[in-house]
């Protein structure tokens, strides 16, 4: 029985690489499929991986009709066994409904790949609909890392090294590069859940700057942490105790 499968993870977790591998595995067994993508970093009508692999694909604009396309192809005598749908977070909810209909009525497997939330920690409409309709949803096991070294669970956006929470939702770009290595480009780093609440406008720390800071991601000086406390105001970046002169006595042996 055909299934609608949704593979998700943060940026840089290998979704497009898995999409390419999935297509290879099915094609190697004689199955014929179609590959779709939207707003790929390599350009229009291209499915690309950060490992350097690329494959020609069909670009999905806002008014693309998956059901009409597949039915037209089958009526013309083409064979379609599966669909690879990368960057599925950019698809409209109506397009996800069309993919589900293809699975249920035409018994064609659909493999969708995409991120769940944008840099504002809000669900993409396409991803939200996939969560509701998918027969199976799998979180990728390849762990992308936050700038502090912890497992990344959210996506962020930076401009000139400053994390922002406002702006256009769709900005085609790549993953984060340390601020000292960039000029005026916009980047999309991954982050842990603690860093996801860093105050907008705070400069990002260097990677793994304060790995021993207690239970939260190292945030910028003076920014609010996960529990709303002011970080950088008396917390030592290297020890789990307040430094001398911070207003609290150190415990002596």
The whole-number pLDDT of residue 188 equals 53
Q: How far is CA 81 from the centre of its chain?
A: 27
Whether residue 144 contacts residue 152, with contact meaning beta carbons closer than 8 Å, is answered with yes
E-assigned strand segments in 58-124: 58-59, 82-85, 109-114
The whole-number pLDDT of residue 150 equals 80
Please report, in tens digits, the pLDDT of each residue of the chain (253 residues total): 999 999 999 888 889 899 999 999 999 999 999 999 998 877 888 898 878 888 999 999 999 999 999 999 999 999 999 999 999 999 999 999 999 999 999 999 999 999 999 888 899 999 999 999 999 999 987 667 777 778 777 667 677 767 766 656 555 555 444 444 433 444 455 556 555 444 445 444 433 333 333 334 444 333 444 333 333 444 334 444 444 454 444 444 4
* Fold observed for domain 4-139: Rossmann fold (3.40.50)
The whole-number pLDDT of residue 187 equals 46
The stretches of the chain forming alpha helices (DSSP H) are: 15-28, 66-75, 93-106, 125-133
The whole-number pLDDT of residue 46 equals 87
- pTM of the complete model: 0.64
Q: Enumerate the active-site residues.
A: 87
The whole-number pLDDT of residue 166 equals 64
**In the beta sheet, which residues pair with residue 46?**
56
The whole-number pLDDT of residue 160 equals 72
The length of the chain, given as a count of residues: 253
Domain coordinates in residue numbering, the chain: 4-139, 143-223
């Amino acid at each position: 029985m055909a299934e609608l499968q949704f593979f998700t993870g943060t940026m840089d977790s290998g979704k497009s690489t898995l999409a390419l591998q999935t297509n290879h595995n099915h094609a190697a067994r004689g199955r014929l499929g179609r590959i779709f993508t939207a707003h790929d970093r390599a350009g229009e009508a291209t499915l690309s991986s950060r490992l350097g692999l690329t494959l020609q694909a069909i670009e999905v604009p806002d008014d693309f009709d998956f059901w009409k396309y597949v039915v037209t192809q089958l009526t013309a005598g083409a064979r379609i066994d599966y669909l690879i749908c990368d960057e599925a977070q950019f698809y409209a909810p109506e397009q996800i409904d069309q993919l589900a209909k293809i699975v249920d009525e035409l018994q064609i497997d659909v493999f969708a790949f995409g991120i769940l939330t944008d840099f504002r920690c809000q669900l993409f409409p396409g991803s939200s609909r996939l969560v509701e309709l998918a027969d199976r949803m799998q979180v990728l096991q390849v762990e992308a890392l936050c700038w502090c070294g912890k497992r990344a669970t959210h996506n962020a956006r930076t401009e000139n090294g400053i994390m922002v929470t406002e702006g256009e939702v769709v900005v085609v770009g790549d993953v984060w590069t340390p601020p000292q290595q960039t000029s005026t480009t916009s980047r999309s780093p991954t982050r842990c859940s603690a860093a996801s609440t860093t105050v907008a406008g705070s400069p990002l720390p260097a990677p793994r700057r304060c790995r021993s800071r207690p239970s939260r991601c190292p945030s910028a000086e003076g920014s609010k942490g996960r529990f709303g406390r002011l970080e950088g105001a008396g917390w030592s970046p290297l020890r789990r105790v307040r430094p001398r002169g911070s207003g609290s006595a150190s415990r002596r042996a």
